[in-house]
Amino acid sequence: MNDIIQKLARALLQSSSTVVFTGAGMSTESGLPDFRSAGGLWKQYRPEELASTDALNRNFENFVSFYRERIETLGEVKPNKGHLLLAEWEAKNLVTAVVTQNVDGLHQAAGSKAVWELHGTLRKVRCQSCGTEYPAGRYSSESTCEKCRGKLRPAVVLFGEMLPEKALSASMDIAASCSLFLVLGSSLSVSPANMLPERAKRSGAKLFIVNNTPTHLDSAADGVIRDAIGNVLSAADEILREQ
């Protein structure tokens, strides 16, 4: 494994543009439960049922309770060393941008500036009717818009909704023009996000994957590492510091 981390560190140094793609595995290392395993009160529902336009329209009370809980959980988590290292690497021009499937805002909390959130953010809520945005804190006591009394919903992509066009097309563009694409904690199973590494690879970028489980792109990758992201990035960072 050390050889692959050496290889990754070398690729980071040689790359003129590096895109980091993060999924749920990045956040679970901060102790944030994968929302697919949301338990307790919500055991009787599949997450797809609550995190959906259907629930927003027809089961608003449960929809609000579900997201209230998720937003509250967010207040208790902090960026982990993986998040912090990515922000440091951005400041040192080793990382160009982070594209994330996560909605917890932990990359920004760690100090990353160039972040594309493909699934939106739980840090804000917005009015389903007039689009006015509020800090997510409003959701703990209010579920309607101050201006029009419309329903408030988190600024995330719900099941039944399209990904934000701007974030998606910008991500596609940087994937196509980067020279290194690094996947952290994603099984690359969710479309269209899984198209990003494919596009990068096709355009000639090196591809590294750090994930606990196999992905369909493992055989195409220049390096695959099955270890905690924080450990891998720390080890790579040590090598970078020796250069």
**Can you give the binding site for Zn ion, defined by CB under 5 A?**
127, 129-130, 132, 145, 147-148, 150
- Residue 189 has phi, psi (to 5 degrees) of -100, -15
Least CB distance to Zn ion at residue 147 (A): 5
For residue 75, the minimal CB distance to Zn ion (Å) is: 25
Residue 74 Cβ, how far from Zn ion at the closest point, in Å?
Answer: 23
47 or 150: whose CB is closer to Zn ion?
Answer: 150
- Report cis status (omega within 30 of 0) of the bond before 192: yes
Which CB sits closer to Zn ion, 45 or 60?
Answer: 60
Closest distance of CB 146 from Zn ion, Å: 7
Tokens of 221: 């990758």
For 240, the enclosing helix (H) or strand (E) is helix 229-242
For residue 155, the surrounding DSSP H or E stretch is: strand 152-156
Reported as type and span, the H/E element at residue 123 is strand 120-127
What's the token pair of residue 47? 């997450």
| Other CB atoms within 10 Å distance of the CB of residue 140 | 11
Nearer to Zn ion, 154 or 197 (CB): 154
* Minimum CB distance to Zn ion, residue 126 (Å): 8
| Residue 185: CB atoms within 10 Å | 23
> 18 by DSSP, 3-state: which?
strand
Q: Among residues 83, 107, 119, 216, which one is catalytic?
A: 119
| Partners of 116 in beta bridges | 99
Residue among 107 and 124 whose Cβ is closer to Zn ion: 124
Spatial separation of the C-alpha atoms in residues 196 and 168, rounded to whole Å: 9
Question: Quick check: is 119 catalytic?
Answer: yes
Cα–Cα distances (Å) from 169 to 165, 176, 192, 206, 218, in that order, read 6, 11, 11, 21, 24
Instruction: Cite the active site residues.
Output: 119
